Amino acid sequence: MEWQTVRALVETGLGASPAPASIRRIRLQGVAFRAVAPGTARTRVAVAWRAGGRTDGPGPLVADLLATVGREPRGDV
């Protein structure tokens, strides 16, 4: 999703979003930025894919994605 779209959704009151500080230069009325101190933010990420259509489990792309996101975070990522 484009950052302009994310900011527009926030501007219309449809939510909040973590974002890089660099998008502050995209001016939209009513959008406030709050800094998050390093090490204080925690989040969970979900992965979704279309079920069905295969009898042998998820396809190779989904299987690779699941293998990747199932790993512990690394310092070089």
Given a cut of 70, the residues of the chain with pLDDT beneath it are: 1, 52-57, 71-77
The predicted structure's pLDDT at residue 76: 47
- Confirm if 29 and 10 have CB atoms less than 8 A apart: no
The predicted structure's pLDDT at residue 77: 42
Q: Where do the H-state alpha helices sit in 28-73?
A: 60-69
- Confirm if 73 and 45 have CB atoms less than 8 A apart: no
